[in-house]
Chains A and B, each alone.
Chain A
């Protein structure tokens, strides 16, 4: 109940869960980040993190599902940006994704898991919650440098 209210207060947008909307999703978070005083480098990082998060939702949470949507809220809270993504797809828990070995050589380097790894490096905090009956809620947080 509280969670829904929280999303309702922040500026929320609903995007079709399709890769062609990643552009708009990046634009949304970039606008909030720029207005919030983040540097160009930080804005890029925030865009990239949001992209990786949304891509995972589209690819995994909604795998095999045609008309899923992602509800995204993005706002400044003090000197930090808070981005939440709610989807109603299959549970996808980024913390269950094996961390890629970034020191492995070419042939051993893992192809998967990079998106989640980058999200965690680019944002200060990434939290994932599976809410029974509601869906998957991802919250990312980054304080201005």
Chain B
């Protein structure tokens, strides 16, 4: 799993490549917490090169969304969610908790 963080004026674009499971989810959480710990709460997660995500990854997303949306200060959105991962998010009832975008610049632009 590979994570890159790009900071824009109004939000962050966090690109996650590879696989997020119980083994790699802590790093994913760490990356999210680094952003919110810096007082930035508008995060777009680019999933275009995400191959796989288990509930460990979903939990990380949920925890981060709670932090971002607190006091209405921001939100976490998902970009280019691969079909398999979208299906699993749907199964878990998570799709209603996150706005999705097809394009990362569009997502960051929405902040």
Interface residues, chain A, CB within 8 Å of chain B? Answer: 19-20, 22-23, 26, 40-41, 44, 47-48, 51-52, 55, 58-59, 100, 102-103, 106-107, 109, 111, 114-115, 117-118, 121-122
Interface residues of B (CB under 8 A from A): 19, 21-23, 52, 54-56, 58-59, 62-63, 65-66, 69, 84, 87-88, 91-93, 97
Nearest A residue to B56 via CB reads A55
A117 touches B92 (CB 8 A): yes
In the complex, what's the smallest C-beta–C-beta distance from B69 to chain A, in angstroms? 6
Contacts of A102 in B (CB 8 A): 92-93
**Given known A22-B22, A22-B23, A55-B54, contact A109–B97 (CB-CB < 8 A):** yes
User: In the docked arrangement, what's the CA distance between A109 and B87, Å?
Assistant: 19
Known: A41-B84, A118-B88, A121-B91. A20 touches B23 (CB 8 A): yes
Complex: how many Å from CA A51 to CA B25? 13
- Given A106-B69, A107-B66, A122-B91, A19–B97 Cβ distance below 8 Å? no
- Partner pick for B54 among A48, A58, A100, CB 8 A cutoff: A48
User: Shortest Cβ distance from B60 into chain A, in angstroms?
Assistant: 10
- Asked if A114 and B23 make an inter-chain contact with CB atoms under 8 angstroms apart, the answer reads no
Contacts of B56 in A (CB 8 A): 55
Besides A22-B54, A55-B56, A109-B97, 4 other CB < 8 A contacts?
A: A19-B23, A55-B22, A59-B22, A111-B63
Nearest CB on A from B25, distance (A): 9
A114 touches B58 (CB 8 A): yes
Could you list 16 examples of A-B contacts with CB < 8 Å? A22-B21, A22-B22, A23-B21, A23-B23, A40-B84, A48-B88, A51-B22, A51-B54, A55-B54, A109-B62, A115-B54, A115-B55, A118-B88, A118-B92, A121-B91, A122-B91
The interface residues of chain A lying within 8 Å CB-to-CB of B58 are: 114
A106 to B52, CA, bound (A): 23
- Give the Cβ gap from B16 to chain A, nearest Cβ, in Å: 16
